[in-house]
Amino acid sequence: MRRVIYAVALLSMFCVAEVEAVGKIGFKKVGDIRLSMSVRTPAGHKKTDKRPAIIFFHGGGWVCGKANQFTAQARAFSIRGFVAFSASYRVINRHKTTVYECVKDAKSAVRYVRAHAKELGIDPNRIIVGGGSAGGHIAACTAVIEGFEEEGEDQSVSSRANALVLFSPVLDTTEKGYGSDKMIKGKKTDLSPCHHVRKGLPPTIIFHGTRDTVVPPENAERFEKLMKEAGNICVRVPFEGRKHNFFNHPAFRKHNKIEDFEKSIKDAVTFLESVGMAPKKTTTGQEATPSKEPKSTLHEYLLIGQSNMAGRAPFSGKDTAGVDRCWLMTDRNQWVAPQPARRWTTPSSATSTS
């Protein structure tokens, strides 16, 4: 059994943290299954704040995947003044569930954040939902698809997103898109966002690679067209020549380009500013969070072991000599090339075995 380490250790010896990592929040329990989401808050965040929140859902075809896929995006948004969450949800391989439960869990996460907005220092009317691939699908469903709410939850608290930030999302669950084999026969459009577009849907931005061979780029083009025809705000940002997973940070998928990651973050924040979903100015007229990038100082030490996501190792993992390697993250969301890992004592809660 190899120890899998995804431990983010805050190193005060390097600098004063620009972002406070709060930890994890349990938001749902179904039988013996407990779902949680990590939360990151801007430096100086208080419960009396009413900041916008963004909730990210990982990809994996509704079959697998882990919330740490969006750690870098969550951190980038928290630096910019958002309260950022990376949420887990039930998936087919681990929990023997269906896509319908994935959607229910996404709606439960939104409902939880909204119900606890006051104690989390969040504006309940500025809850943005995002995700990649299948995670982009269930994110879209929180805004587009009606019904599929978890029984027993307080339905008076809305599970509807106020804005969407989608990366290579599944938007058509028929044979023209992705995932038709996972839908109930005769009901392939029940969870298909393209088939439920109507007036009054929240502002949406979509990032999609033009060479995506998993989710057809045409689906994003069609969704954008349908949204605009219905009078909704929708912006599609095509990434020329990029494939399905281009949006992942290089620390998660090592062959990706940091420029793509940075552009998607910048464009998403600019879009959210344009629709009133970004951090507001304070009473003094100053931005709640500095508009300039923080000084690039070493902030976190990310120890990386072997990845078990979909049986691949997107991180550097072990070198040829079997030495643990790590990434150093800077406050510009840049990652220094892998270095031999120092032997830090890691809290047991941050490690797992496989």
Mean pLDDT over all residues of the chain? 79
User: Are 251 and 329 spatial neighbours (Cβ–Cβ below 8 Å)?
Assistant: yes
Q: What is the Cα–Cα distance from 202 to 280, expressed in whole angstroms?
A: 19
The answer to whether residues 119 and 74 belong to one domain is: yes
The dihedral of CA 64, 75, 227, 211: what is its sign?
Answer: negative
Q: What is the pLDDT of residues 100-151, one digit of tens each?
A: 999 999 999 999 999 999 999 999 999 999 999 999 999 999 999 999 999 9
Same domain, 116 and 227: yes
Q: Which residues contact 85 (CB under 8 A, 6 or more apart)?
A: 25, 37, 38, 39, 40, 53, 54, 55, 56, 74, 109, 113
Helix (H) or strand (E) holding 351: strand 351-353
**How distant, in Å, are the alpha carbons of 273, 288, 297 from that of 334?**
23, 23, 10
**240-251 confidence digits (pLDDT tens):** 999 999 999 999
Within 10 angstroms of residue 16's Cβ, the number of other Cβ atoms is: 8
Q: What is the extent of the structural domain holding 10?
A: 1-17+295-354
Confidence of residue 49 (pLDDT cuts 50, 70, 90): very high
Query: What whole-number distance in Å separates Cα of residue 276 and Cα of residue 166?
Result: 18
What was the pLDDT predicted at 149?
Answer: 97
Report whether 47 contacts 119 (CB < 8 A).
yes
Question: Do 43 and 13 sit in the same domain of this protein?
Answer: no
pLDDT surpasses 50 at 330: no
d(CA 131, CA 108): 15
Q: Among residues 293, 317, 334, which one ends one of the domains?
A: 293
**311 in the same domain as 173:** no
Whole-number Å distance between alpha carbons of 126 and 52: 5
DSSP codes, 159-187: ---SEEEEES-----STTSS-GGGSPTT-
Are 12 and 23 contained in the same domain? no
Q: Is the pLDDT of residue 36 over 80?
A: yes
Higher pLDDT, 23 or 21: 23
Residues 307-330: what's their mean pLDDT? 31
Half-sphere exposure of 254 (CA within 13 A, CB side): 13
> 264 and 310 share a domain?
no
> Taking the CB of residue 11, how many other CB atoms lie within 10 A of it?
14
The span from the CA of 239 to the CA of 261, in Å, is 11
Average pLDDT rounded to a whole number, residues 46-65 = 95
Mean pLDDT of the region 22-34:
91
Helix pair 71-79, 258-274: axis angle to 10 deg: 50
Q: What is the DSSP string of 35-76?
A: EEEEEEEETT--TT--EEEEEEE--STTTS--GGGGHHHHHH
- Reading the block at residue 256, the tokens are 């990706």
138-142, 205-209, 335-339: range with lowest mean pLDDT: 335-339
Domain shared by 161 and 171, yes or no: yes
Q: Is the domain of 236 the same as that of 328?
A: no
Tell me: do 45 and 84 sit in the same domain. yes
DSSP 8-state assignment for residue 292: S
Strands 19-30 and 3-10: unpaired
CA distance 65 to 310: 7
For 85, list phi and psi in degrees, rounded to 5. -120, 145
More confidently predicted of 215 and 298:
215
In this predicted structure, what is the pLDDT of residue 280? 80
d(CA 85, CA 110): 10
**Single residue among 266, 293, 320 that ends a domain in this structure:** 293
Q: Are 120 and 53 in contact (CB under 8 A)?
A: yes
Cα-trace Rg, the chain: 19
Q: Are residues 175 and 304 in the same domain?
A: no
CATH classification of the domain holding 238:
3.40.50.1820
Kindly state whether residues 237 and 155 are assigned to the same domain: yes
Which of 240, 266, 293 is at the close of a domain?
Answer: 293
What is the rounded CA–CA span in Å between residue 40 and residue 42? 7
Read off the pLDDT of residues 285-295 as tens digits, 9 standing for 90 and up: 333 554 444 43
Residue 23's pLDDT band, with cuts at 50, 70 and 90, is confident
Q: What percent of the chain has pLDDT over 90?
A: 70
Per-residue pLDDT band for 281 (boundaries 50, 70, 90) equals low
For 175-193, write each residue's pLDDT tens digit: 999 999 999 989 999 999 9
Lowest mean pLDDT among 36-50, 115-129, 164-178, 186-200: 36-50
DSSP, collapsed to helix, strand or coil, labels residue 25 as strand
CB 124 within 8 A of CB 159: no
Instruction: Enter the pTM of the model.
Output: 0.78
- Indicate the pLDDT class of residue 95, thresholds 50, 70 and 90: very high
Residue 20: what pLDDT? 54
* 43 — pLDDT class (breaks 50, 70, 90): confident
Do residue 324 and residue 248 come from a single domain?
A: no
Q: Provide the token pair at 270.
A: 């600019």
Straight-line distance from the first to the last Cα atom of the chain, in angstroms, rounded to the nearest whole number: 6
Q: Report the number of distinct structural domains present in the chain.
A: 2
